[in-house]
Structure 1
Amino acid sequence: MEPRHIEIAHELMEEIDQGRYVPGQPLPTEDRLIETYRTSRNTVRRALHELASRGRIDTKQGSGSRVRDYRPTVHLASPLQGHSDDERYANYLDRMRREHGVDPREDLKVGREPATGTLAHLLDLDPAEDRGFAVIRRCDRYVGTRLWERQESYYPDFIAEGTDLDRPANVPEGTKKLLAELGYPQTGSWDVIGAKMPSLKESSRFALGPGVPLLVHERVAYSDTTPIRFTRTYLPADRHQLLYAEGAIEPDLLHTATDVNVYDR
């Protein structure tokens, strides 16, 4: 038999899932929950803590508890015909302005580091050789003061050194087109997407609430059999949904997908 506070937490989660308590709506007061479940204040508080730790409610001293309101932004994660890159930043900016009413900003830094471990394996580089370094482009995207997502792209140094990839500025034509102009047209790629609970540093960096995981989207792109780019994107799960589209679908049709919220019931 489960502890009483877990039973109460499960019942409240069911009511949230069924829409009795909608996002942004307050839950009953502690006194009301004590009366409803005929239990102690400590048990009710433990049940509410359980819901908060799972990211279902926000609890503030003196203000009670409210159902957490998730309004994630769609992150386009697959190529579209007629687009030079998987996720054109201009389109992302437009969505953020529309959905959040603010102007996002980005902070782009470029560096160079020896390729070791997983990075060396994925880009087929040997740090003991001259061609064993990678150019890294790290882009932090903010909404207000909050870090919204971080994207890190690694390019073999023998491809990127001395090019626009090696400078801390956006590439207007897109990196895919630039790589093709450098003699490395992208012919294929693979993706791995997973979710993990953040470290303390990541929780602080992204200002994550309790119970919120990080989505991690990794992609390696190839020109024939040569790895030309490894990209890792960190996306707080309460702020993002990944959208994949297949075939000759018009970009305007994707607006339907932007109305889908996996947190709605």
Structure 2
Amino acid sequence: MARKYEKIAHELREGITNGTYPPGSTLPALPELMATYEVARETVRSAVSALANEGLVTPLSGVGTVVRDLGTVDMHSQPGDAHPAWGSTTGDDSKIETVEASYDVANHEVAQRLGIGRGDRVVHRVRRYYKGRHIVLLHDQWLPGEVGARIHSETGYDPADKDAHERTDLYSFMREAGYQPAQTTERVSTRMPDPDERDVMSIPPGVPVLITLRTTRDASQIELETSTFVATGDRAEQTYTVAM
């Protein structure tokens, strides 16, 4: 038999799902819920906490319990994509911001993923993907230094310049520079967010993140780039298109 707070949480969850409480609205205040269900304050708090842990609502001081906008973010991967399709699948309120792009040195993990030496020169690019005002995806990307330099010299586009104009996607720049991206390997896993991820993406308690590690190679199995995508687990949806 369901406990009282579980019954309350279930009915409020149903209200969120069917639109009784749309995104941005607030749930009834605690005293109102106490009167409606004839229960103690702690019972109502437990129900609201359960919804918050599921990522459905966010308690805000002085405002109330706000229903979150859980529009799905589709990370659509298909052959030829330099990054998950964005905007076309997520709507006009989506955008990508390049936060950082510069030459760096490879740490142990990046060196292993790129098949280079630890401390070797790499291009490191950091991006944030937005849905409306909310950051829903973090993207760190690394290219071997020689790949970045060759793209710059052959195409005029500098992947280590965060303000450089991208007239096309990175894979197209690679092809213009003489590289032939032929294979992408992705490993997908989940974990709980670290403090920085929780803060930047405003992730509620109890909500995990979806981690995608991607490495792109040419036909000779030489690594051309590697990326780490971190998405909020309550909004991300991973879709693959595989050539047959």
Q: Is 2:161 aligned against 1:167?
A: yes
| Partner residue, 2:142 | 154
Equivalences for 1:30-49 in 2 at 5 Å? 30-35=30-35, 37-49=37-49
User: How big is the shift at 1:71?
Assistant: 1.1
Q: TM-score, normalised by structure 1?
A: 0.70
Name which of 95, 99, 102 aligns with 1:104: 95
| Partner residue, 1:242 | 238
Q: Is 2:199 aligned against 1:204?
A: yes
| Partner residue, 2:109 | 118
Q: Which amino acid is the alignment partner of residue 53 of structure 1?
A: N
CA 1:216–1:59 in structure 2 vs 1: closer, same or farther (change >3 Å)?
Answer: same
Measured in 2, the distance between the counterparts of 1:144 and 1:56 equals 17
Measured in 2, the distance between the counterparts of 1:32 and 1:108 equals 44
CA 1:29–1:144 in structure 2 vs 1: closer, same or farther (change >3 Å)?
Answer: closer
User: How big is the shift at 1:219?
Assistant: 0.6
CA 1:111–1:64 in structure 2 vs 1: closer, same or farther (change >3 Å)?
Answer: closer
The runs of at least 4 consecutive aligned structure 1 residues that moved more than 6 Å come to: none
CA 1:114–1:210 in structure 2 vs 1: closer, same or farther (change >3 Å)?
Answer: same
User: How big is the shift at 1:181?
Assistant: 3.8
CA 1:221–1:28 in structure 2 vs 1: closer, same or farther (change >3 Å)?
Answer: same
1:64-113: CA deviations, max 9, x gaps? 5454331123232222xxxx53447xx63455553x3xx73523532222
Q: TM-score, normalised by structure 2?
A: 0.75
Name which of 216, 234, 238 aligns with 1:221: 216
Measured in 1, the distance between the counterparts of 2:193 and 2:95 equals 23
1:199-228: CA deviations, max 9, x gaps? 222222223344433222221111122111
CA 1:22–1:126 in structure 2 vs 1: closer, same or farther (change >3 Å)?
Answer: same
User: How big is the shift at 1:155?
Assistant: 1.0
User: How big is the shift at 1:239?
Assistant: 4.5
1:3-33: CA deviations, max 9, x gaps? 754x346544664587485544654553454
CA 1:14–1:208 in structure 2 vs 1: closer, same or farther (change >3 Å)?
Answer: closer
| Partner residue, 1:256 | none
User: How big is the shift at 1:230?
Assistant: 0.3
Name which of 178, 184, 188 aligns with 2:183: 188
User: How big is the shift at 1:149?
Assistant: 2.8
User: Is the Cα contact below 8 Å between 2:104 and 2:123 reproduced in 1?
Assistant: yes
Q: Which amino acid is the alignment partner of residue 137 of structure 2?
A: E
Higher helix share: 1
Q: Is 2:178 aligned against 1:178?
A: no
Unpaired runs of 5+ residues, structure 1, are: 249-265
Name which of 228, 235, 239 aligns with 1:232: 228
CA 1:45–1:148 in structure 2 vs 1: closer, same or farther (change >3 Å)?
Answer: closer
Measured in 2, the distance between the counterparts of 1:73 and 1:14 equals 21
- SS for the counterpart of 1:92 is coil
- SS for the counterpart of 1:165 is coil
Measured in 2, the distance between the counterparts of 1:69 and 1:166 equals 34
When the two structures are aligned, how many residues end up with a matched partner?
Answer: 235
- SS for the counterpart of 1:161 is helix
- SS for the counterpart of 1:104 is strand
Name which of 126, 140, 148 aligns with 2:128: 140
User: How big is the shift at 1:46?
Assistant: 2.5
Q: Which amino acid is the alignment partner of residue 100 of structure 2?
A: K
User: Is the Cα contact below 8 Å between 2:56 and 2:70 reproduced in 1?
Assistant: no
User: Is the Cα contact below 8 Å between 1:9 and 1:51 reproduced in 2?
Assistant: no
CA 1:226–1:58 in structure 2 vs 1: closer, same or farther (change >3 Å)?
Answer: same
